[in-house]
Amino acid sequence: MMKVQYLVLHLQERFSMAEQNIEKVLNDKIAGTVIVSALKIWSKIEFISIVTLIIQFLMLFHLKSLCIYSKTVSILGLVLFFVIQYYVVRLYFDKLLFENIYKFENIENDSKKFDIIMSFFFKKNAQIRTMKSRWLGTIRLLKTTIIMLLLQILTMFLMFIFINFNTKL
């Protein structure tokens, strides 16, 4: 707990410098520790998504005659499950990327080298990204994944409501 408080205090000091120094802050190894810690949530998101899907399938096979609403919601839940799995894989790769980038001393330079090397795999021009753009993209991806997970959980509750409504009729 003390380590986390130390990290928070240290980052608050760093972030209070000014907006123009944000790149320097993001090139700090402590910033790398924070983003990697935040990205470790990928496995928990995947677990919750799988459990939600299992519960939906149990509800789906529990009753033989389902209303069209519960069938539609279950299909939506299945689609959301696959979308979440795609985002979870991307979060995992971002976690690995940040772990590797923050291992080196010259973080910004090694990040540029990574972009150039990746361009050989995908046959595109090297699009050099700053640490700020990497952070913003990863945070946007994390928020989108959490929103998708909440929508999947909502589909599970809607399906439960429709099944209960259908059995009462």
Q: Which residues of 29-58 are buried (b: 16+ CB within 10 A; e: fewer)?
A: eebbbbbbeebeebeebbeebeebbebbee
Residue 157 has pLDDT above 60, yes or no: yes
Residue predicted with more confidence, 122 or 142: 142
Residue 119 lies in a domain: no
| Domain membership flag for residue 10 | no
Is 151 or 121 the better-scoring residue by pLDDT? 151
Q: Would you say residue 4 lies in a domain?
A: no
Whether the CB-CB separation of 45 and 113 falls below 8 Å is answered with no
Domain count, the chain: 1
Residue 141 near residue 94 (C-beta atoms within 8 A)? yes
Tell me how far apart the alpha carbons of residues 69 and 159 are, in angstroms, rounded to a whole number.
8
DSSP 41: T
Question: Within a domain: residue 87?
Answer: yes
CB atoms within 10 A of CB 89: 12
Asked whether residue 115 is domain-assigned, the answer is no
What is the residue whose two structure tokens read 């123009």?
Answer: 20
- Is 16 inside any structural domain? no
Contact 7, 30 (CB under 8 A): yes
Please check whether residue 22 lies inside any domain of the structure: no
| Domain range for 144 | 28-103+132-168
Q: Is residue 155 part of a domain?
A: yes
Confidence tier at 88 by pLDDT (50, 70, 90): very high
State the pLDDT confidence band at 86, using cuts at 50, 70 and 90. Answer: very high
What is the structure's pLDDT at 91? 92
pTM for this entry: 0.75
Question: What's the token pair of residue 35?
Answer: 């983003």
Per-residue confidence at 160, pLDDT binned at 50, 70, 90? confident
